[in-house]
Amino acid sequence: MDYELAVELPYREQSGQHKFKLLSARGRKFLSYYRPYRRLFVADMACALVVSATTLLIPLCVSYITKNVLSSNGPDMLRQILGMGVVMLVLIAIHTVSNMFVAYQGHMMGAMMERDMRQELFDYYQKLSFAFYDEQKVGQLMTRLTNDSFDLAELFHHGPEDIVISFLNFVGAFAILFVINAKLALLVFLFLPIMAVYAYHFNKKMAEALRRSHDRIGDINAQVEDSLAGIRVVQSFSNEAVEKGKFGRENGRFLDSRRDSYRSETYFYEGLVAFTQLMTVAVVVFGGISIVYGSLDLPDLITFLLCVAILIEPIRRYGNFSRLYQEGIAGFERFMEVLEVEPDIEDTVNAIELAQVEGNITFRDVSFQYKDGYGYVFKNLALEIKAGEYVALVGSSGIGKTTLCSLIPRFYEVNEGAVLLDGRDIRDIQLASLRRNIGIVQQDVYLFAGTVADNIRYGKPVADDAEIVAAARQANAHDFIMALPDGYNTDIGQRGVKLSGGQKQRLAIARVFLKDPPVLIFDEATSALDNESEKAIRQSLEKLSDGRTTLVIAHRLSTVRNAQRIVVLAENGIVEQGTHAELMALGGAYANLYTMQSSM
> Is residue 437 domain-shared with residue 563, that is, in the same domain?
yes
- The answer to whether residue 484 is domain-embedded is yes
Per-residue b or e along 421-430, where b marks 16 or more CB atoms closer than 10 Å to that residue's CB = bbebebbebe
Q: What is the CATH number of the domain that holds 569?
A: 3.40.50.300
**DSSP one-letter code for 568:** E
250 and 367 housed in the same domain = no
Torsion sign (Cα): 110, 112, 114, 116:
negative
Residue 171 lies inside a defined structural domain of this protein:
yes
Q: Do 441 and 585 fall into the same domain?
A: yes
In a domain, 351, yes or no: no
Whole-structure pTM value: 0.74
Whether 381 and 366 have beta carbons less than 8 Å apart is answered as yes
* Count of residues in the chain: 600
Is 355 part of any domain? Answer: no
Residues 545 and 415 in one domain: yes
Write down which residue in 339, 370, 396 finishes a domain. 339
Which range of residues forms the domain containing residue 555?
361-598
Is 365 found in the same domain as 321?
A: no
Contact by Cβ (8 Å): 526, 538:
yes
Q: What is the DSSP string of 75-98?
A: TTHHHHHHHHHHHHHHHHHHHHHH
Name which of 187, 169, 180, 226 is nearest 52 in CA terms: 169
Q: What per-residue confidence (pLDDT) applies to 17? A: 57
Instruction: Tell me which residue of 142, 293, 280 sits closest to 220, measured CA to CA.
Output: 142
In a domain, 353, yes or no: no
What is the per-residue pLDDT for 237?
65
CA atoms within 13 A on the CB side of 148: 29
Residue 344 counted as domain residue = no
Burial of 321 (0-12, 13-18, 19+ CB in 10 A): buried
DSSP-derived 3-state class of residue 422: coil
- Please list, residue by residue across 185-208, b when 16 or more beta carbons sit within 10 angstroms of its beta carbon and e when fewer do: bebbeebeeebeebbeebbebbbb
Tell me whether strands 549-553 and 390-394 are parallel, antiparallel or unpaired: parallel
**Tens-digit pLDDT profile for the chain (600 aa)?**
445 554 343 444 455 555 556 667 788 888 898 899 999 999 988 998 898 888 878 877 777 777 665 555 656 777 777 888 888 899 999 989 998 998 888 888 888 888 898 899 898 888 888 888 888 877 778 878 877 777 777 788 777 877 887 788 778 877 877 887 788 888 888 887 888 788 778 777 877 777 787 778 778 877 777 777 677 667 766 677 888 888 888 888 888 888 887 888 788 777 877 887 888 888 888 888 888 877 777 777 777 777 777 777 777 677 677 777 777 887 888 888 888 888 888 888 888 998 889 999 999 999 999 887 788 898 999 999 999 999 999 988 888 898 999 999 999 999 999 999 999 999 999 998 999 999 888 877 888 888 999 999 988 889 999 999 999 988 888 989 999 999 999 998 877 878 888 888 888 888 888 888 999 998 876 655 566 666 766 777 777 788 889 999 887 787 788 889 999 998 888 999 999 999 999 988 888 888 887 766
| Judgement on whether residues 386 and 330 belong to the same structural domain of the protein | no
217 and 125 assigned to the same domain: yes
- Pair 109, 191 in one domain: yes
Asked whether residue 394 is assigned to any structural domain, the reply reads yes
Total count of domains within the chain:
2
Is 321 part of any domain?
yes
Residue 256 pLDDT: 84
Check residue 7 and give its pLDDT. 38
Amino acid code (one letter) for 600: M
Q: Are residues 468 and 406 in the same domain?
A: yes
Tell me: do 330 and 407 sit in the same domain.
no
